[in-house]
């Protein structure tokens, strides 16, 4: 078809209907390409329904991939609530095992609650799509308290049967700080009890070159090429579980990564296999643990390495680092699962630093910064409030902190390990103090989780 494309978002679905009626395949293909290029959270569900109605397979696959990546955001849309039983069942089936089960549950509860009188009869059947075995015990216990679940004996039985096969809680209820102590063959883990100031042993990790992340439900130890992931439920497991994944290709270093929405996000870094001019990247990759492949997310706006990442609620924030022109950045980007946007920059440009979240606010701690002609340790700490989009300085560090420094958060406080010393920053009092000195802690200790 030659000439100007005769459609826009105001009439595109009418054009598709007319093209289907008159069997104009080329027009339908052009419409499909147009919609794929213009998919948004606002129009993807209508577009998906259109692709099913008119059997536009390429468009259907693209919309389903978009829905999988943005499902938690779509839950609040009117079109989502108005899906009929058949449409909602189709959506849940293609999202299942590709989206965290907690998100599937949230979708189901939201959809049924929109018209509970008519839809509650579907709840038990649709609940069967949720992969309960991939959920932690704490998440299952939380799910058990949802009113729709409590009102369904069938759903309660499924949860209780799943819980029966979980190991008993091996950890005490006191506040502990799990640290990794690395040696040449096995990673030893000690748990520090913040109340008694004593140490106890936790399960060991196999492997030499592992990096550890944590979420509120567990710890993740990843091999250098991301081909093996070991997981530990800190409250309900007595050992690490091993899973094999496709390696992340190409290989990256100096990236930042985090656990967000029960997925591992890897942001930016240096591509060690690329030519010089393309080494630093803005690429973002996501891995949902039940899957066995990495998925491309939308790239950041700025290429970065040695930056920091933090997530607050349904937003992911990337800040600082070194850009492709070797400039130290103070810029900050925010990702809502669909688009990246620049927000207020930090007061000071820094890289190789730590970012943590306390009570919904981000703390950029330490790192390295430019001082005239020299790169020197940065002792300042900045706090960012996403609700006001404002950065402010708080109490400065006494000792140098870089991205390699073990840091974690518990009960409104930031804990840092300096060799044999554990320091704490009290956000309420805005001061640093020495918590404990322990002979058992080696300088290589890495904090995994306070629980």
Q: What residues form DSSP beta bridges with 191? A: 178, 200
Whether residue 439 has pLDDT greater than 60 = no
Whether residue 181 has pLDDT greater than 70 = no
| pLDDT at position 51 | 93
| pLDDT at position 243 | 60
Which of the two residues, 100 and 315, has the higher pLDDT score?
315
In this structure, of 267-271, 298-302, 336-340, 445-449, the range with the lowest mean pLDDT score is 445-449
| pLDDT at position 448 | 44
In this predicted model, what pLDDT tens digit does every residue of 124-154 receive, in sequence order? 999 988 888 777 777 788 888 888 998 888 8
Nearest to 446 by CA among 176, 179, 177, 175: 179
Cβ distance 385 to 436 under 8 Å?
A: no
Helix axes 85-95, 116-127, angle to 10 degrees: 30
Mean pLDDT of 326-355: 94
pLDDT bin (cut points 50, 70, 90) of residue 451 is very low
Which of the two residues, 210 and 271, has the higher pLDDT score?
271
pLDDT bin (cut points 50, 70, 90) of residue 193 is low
Mean pLDDT of 254-283: 79
Most confident region among 13-27, 238-252, 408-422 by mean pLDDT: 13-27
| pLDDT at position 446 | 47
| pLDDT at position 235 | 60
Q: Does domain 39-164 have CATH number 1.10.340.30?
A: no
Angle (CA) 232 233 239, round 5°: 50
Which of the two residues, 38 and 186, has the higher pLDDT score?
38
pLDDT bin (cut points 50, 70, 90) of residue 169 is very low
Whether residue 108 has pLDDT greater than 90 = yes
| pLDDT at position 220 | 73
pLDDT bin (cut points 50, 70, 90) of residue 214 is low
| pLDDT at position 177 | 55
Whether residue 6 has pLDDT greater than 70 = no
CA 306 to chain centre: 19
Give the percent of the chain with pLDDT over 90.
35
Taking only Cα atoms into account, the Rg of the chain, rounded to an integer number of angstroms, comes to: 24
Mean pLDDT of 48-67: 92
Whether residue 377 has pLDDT greater than 90 = yes
In this predicted model, what pLDDT tens digit does every residue of 272-299 receive, in sequence order? 776 665 688 899 988 766 555 677 889 9
Which of the two residues, 250 and 134, has the higher pLDDT score?
134
Whether residue 11 has pLDDT greater than 60 = yes
Whether residue 344 has pLDDT greater than 80 = yes
In this structure, of 28-32, 115-119, 376-380, 409-413, the range with the lowest mean pLDDT score is 409-413
Taking the domains of the chain in order of start, what are their residue ranges?
39-164, 176-450
In this structure, of 47-56, 248-257, 334-343, 361-370, the range with the lowest mean pLDDT score is 248-257
| pLDDT at position 444 | 46
| pLDDT at position 319 | 97
Superfamily for domain range 176-450: Kelch-type beta propeller (2.120.10.80)
Mean pLDDT of 187-196: 63
| pLDDT at position 371 | 87
| pLDDT at position 119 | 93
Q: Give the chain's mean pLDDT.
A: 80
| pLDDT at position 164 | 64
């Amino acid at each position: 078809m030659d000439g100007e494309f005769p459609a826009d978002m105001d009439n595109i679905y009418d054009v598709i209907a007319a093209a289907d009626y008159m069997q104009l395949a080329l027009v339908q293909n052009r419409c499909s390409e147009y919609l794929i290029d213009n998919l948004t959270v606002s129009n993807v569900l209508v577009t998906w329904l259109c692709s099913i109605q008119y059997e536009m397979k390429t468009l259907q696959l693209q919309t389903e991939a978009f829905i999988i990546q943005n499902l938690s955001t779509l839950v609040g849309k009117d079109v989502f609530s108005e899906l009929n039983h058949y449409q909602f069942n189709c959506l849940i089936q293609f999202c299942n095992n590709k989206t965290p089960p907690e998100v599937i549950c949230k979708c189901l509860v939201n959809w049924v609650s929109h018209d509970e009188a008519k839809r509650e009869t579907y709840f038990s059947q649709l609940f069967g799509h949720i992969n309960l075995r991939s959920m932690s015990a704490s998440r299952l216990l939380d799910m058990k308290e949802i009113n729709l679940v409590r009102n369904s004996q069938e759903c309660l039985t499924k949860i209780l049967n799943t819980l029966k096969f979980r190991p008993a809680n091996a950890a005490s209820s006191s506040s502990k700080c799990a640290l990794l102590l690395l040696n040449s063959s096995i990673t030893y883990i000690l748990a520090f009890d913040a109340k008694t100031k004593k140490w106890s042993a936790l399960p060991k990790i196999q492997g030499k070159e592992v990096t550890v992340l944590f979420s509120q439900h567990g710890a993740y130890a990843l091999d250098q090429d991301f081909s093996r992931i070991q997981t530990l439920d800190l409250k309900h497991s007595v050992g690490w579980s091993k899973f094999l994944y496709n390696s992340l290709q190409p290989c990256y270093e100096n990236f930042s990564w985090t656990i967000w929405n029960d997925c591992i996000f890897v942001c930016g870094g240096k591509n060690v296999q690329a030519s010089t001019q393309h080494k630093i990247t803005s690429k973002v990759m996501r891995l949902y643990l039940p899957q066995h492949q990495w998925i491309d997310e939308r790239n950041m706006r700025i290429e970065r390495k040695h930056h920091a990442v933090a997530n607050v609620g349904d937003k992911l924030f990337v800040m600082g680092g070194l850009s492709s022109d070797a400039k130290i950045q103070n810029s900050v980007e925010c990702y809502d699962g669909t688009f990246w946007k620049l927000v207020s920059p930090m007061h000071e440009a820094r890289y190789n630093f730590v970012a943590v979240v306390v009570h919904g606010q981000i703390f950029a701690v330490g790192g390295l910064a430019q001082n005239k002609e020299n790169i020197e340790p940065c002792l300042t700490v900045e706090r960012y409030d996403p609700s006001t989009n404002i950065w402010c300085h708080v109490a400065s560090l006494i000792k140098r902190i870089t991205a390699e420094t073990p840091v974690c958060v518990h009960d409104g406080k930031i804990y840092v390990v300096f060799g044999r010393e554990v320091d704490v920053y009290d956000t309420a009092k805005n001061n640093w103090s020495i918590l404990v000195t322990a002979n058992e802690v080696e300088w290589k200790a890495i904090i995994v989780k306070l629980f």
